[in-house]
Structure 1
Amino acid sequence: MLHDRRVWVLAAGVILAMSISGCQRNRDGSLRSDGEVQTEQARLDEASTKASEGEYSDALEIFHAILEDNPTSGEAYLGIGDVYLEQKDYVKAEPALARAAKLEPRSYQAQFQHGLALQMLDRFLEAVQAYHRALTIDPDSAEANRNLAMSYLRMDEPRNAMPFADRAIQLDPTAGDGWVTLGAAYEGMQNWSEAAAAYIAASERMEPTPELMRNLLRVLIELKRYREVISTAQTLQRFGPDADAFERSGWAAFRLGEYSDSLDYYRKSVEIDPEFWQAWNGIGVNRLNAWLLSNREDSSAFRDSGEAFRSSLRINGDQTKVISLVLKYQL
């Protein structure tokens, strides 16, 4: 009986200790009253409002004042980190968010925001770990699944990225950036057809961007879908003159047997970038082809071909195939 009573007393003591340790304390170690807790919450709300209104200095001042009274306020550290994220100051954001994540291990927001700061600092392995912690708390977060996939992709691990990219789409099929991430995962695995389908799905759900169109262009080239290569390259020109897109259009048009269009695209490419030796090669091949099709009678085409190839070689002399062509036809 005495033994049972001692066990009960010991258990009660443990429970009491746990209860006391779980209570919020002031800097001097004294327990905080309900009024102090409510006052802190009001100050947190005030700081968050100022941050949402763009008054970042005032918000930071309040968050730091809260930490003076309560150095274990995870919400204050999270608020500081969020302000620095908004300001794109990731170096300052990361330590604040790391502290928030440690103080609030069950807070999805703390874990996710810490992952975001790490990702923006190119600390991808640590970002992966933070996003996994966030997904342990909320496995149905599309943004955490997507960002985790993106971090794996930056680590050149498309197979690890794939399940999370796919899960992000299942959770939010309307998000264009989710489809971009899925496309990048498929592209990393050299599944060109699925990559193209994902990039096209992204373009249907978001405003096309140069980055998205270049991604789509790359996989269409791999698939030899020449007509779509040309149309995608034309879309890229809407964002500004693009020598590479014109060069790729020239390549696709030549493959389609549309030699006049091909030559025009290549010439537009070197007008934008006179140092683009691949486009000079395209001009050279087109004009050499014209000379050969004329039964070697079109001297203008012959001359243009030699000039184009020499322009290419002046920029990049390490081209054995081009040198062989010049020597073979005495261009």
Structure 2
Amino acid sequence: ILEEADVAEVQDIEAEKVKTQQAFAAIVQIHKNGDIDDAKQGYEAFLERFPNNTAARINLSHIALQAEQYDQAGAYILEALQIDPKEPQALMLAGLIAREKGDFDGAESYYRQALSVNPDYIPAIRNLAILLDLYRGRLQEALELYERAQALETVPDPKLKDWIFDIKRRIGEP
């Protein structure tokens, strides 16, 4: 049976957790609103308080990617992967960064690692398909991945539909 002091401690911990989630959500909203500098400062401040948070590092990586700062984006992702080596979003972003740097083998490896953790992770499926289609010339594999991504979408994606049509045309399928 929990003592009153124990109950109060659990309640304090839960209240702190809620405050932390609300603080992070506020930073994400700033980011979504397009205030990149404030979002970056917010994520960095959040990491000072919660150094093992992977989500803030992933979001900082997104900011660096948008600014085409691939080395900085990669540094954030490597930090996130040191904390959680099986984080699918971080693995997928590591693949994206590798692709942007021309490391197609590395990109493919990261995308496949993300899919080994979460086989239905649509962003990794799409990016692997794009890599195989546009950079590797492995059209049949790319087609299968595009179709798999489309099947997983809750609402059919017109872009995927176009890509599927285009790749079928290129490989001679009706």
- Normalising by structure 1, report the TM-score: 0.42
- In the alignment, the residues of structure 1 paired with residue 56 and residue 69 of structure 2 have an alpha-carbon distance, to the nearest angstrom, of 17
CA offset digits 1:82-122 (Å, max 9, x no partner): 23223233333123323444564433233222223223433
- In the alignment, the residues of structure 2 paired with residue 107 and residue 44 of structure 1 have an alpha-carbon distance, to the nearest angstrom, of 13
Does the aligned pair in 2 maintain the 1:94–1:118 contact within 8 Å?
A: no
- In the alignment, the residues of structure 2 paired with residue 215 and residue 95 of structure 1 have an alpha-carbon distance, to the nearest angstrom, of 38
Residue 87 (structure 2) aligns with: 141
Call closer, same or farther: CA 1:102–1:121 in 2, change over 3 Å.
Answer: farther
Does the aligned pair in 1 maintain the 2:77–2:90 contact within 8 Å?
A: yes
Give the drift of 1:42: 5.3
- In the alignment, the residues of structure 2 paired with residue 160 and residue 102 of structure 1 have an alpha-carbon distance, to the nearest angstrom, of 30
Call closer, same or farther: CA 1:117–1:81 in 2, change over 3 Å.
Answer: farther
- In the alignment, the residues of structure 2 paired with residue 210 and residue 158 of structure 1 have an alpha-carbon distance, to the nearest angstrom, of 26
Does the aligned pair in 1 maintain the 2:94–2:107 contact within 8 Å?
A: yes
Residue 112 (structure 1) aligns with: 58
- In the alignment, the residues of structure 1 paired with residue 53 and residue 38 of structure 2 have an alpha-carbon distance, to the nearest angstrom, of 20
- 2:76 counterpart (103, 112, 130): 130
- Normalising by structure 2, report the TM-score: 0.74
One-letter code of the match for 2:142? Answer: A
1:215 is aligned to 2:163: yes
What does residue range 1-331 of structure 1 map to in structure 2 within 5 Å? Answer: 45-46=18-19, 48-49=21-22, 81-101=27-47, 104-187=50-133, 188-206=135-153, 207-225=155-173, 227=174
Q: Which residues of structure 2 form unaligned runs of 5+?
A: 1-11
Structure scoring higher RCO (CA < 8 A, sep ≥ 6) equals 2
Give the drift of 1:199: 0.7
Which deviates more, 148-157 or 166-175? 148-157
Percent identity over the alignment? Answer: 15
- In the alignment, the residues of structure 1 paired with residue 32 and residue 17 of structure 2 have an alpha-carbon distance, to the nearest angstrom, of 17
One-letter code of the match for 1:114? Answer: L
Give the drift of 1:217: 3.3
Residue 278 (structure 1) aligns with: none
Q: Which residues of structure 1 form unaligned runs of 5+?
A: 1-38, 50-75, 228-331
Aligned residues: 162
- In the alignment, the residues of structure 2 paired with residue 47 and residue 140 of structure 1 have an alpha-carbon distance, to the nearest angstrom, of 23
- Secondary structure of 2:152's counterpart equals coil
- Secondary structure of 1:204's counterpart equals helix
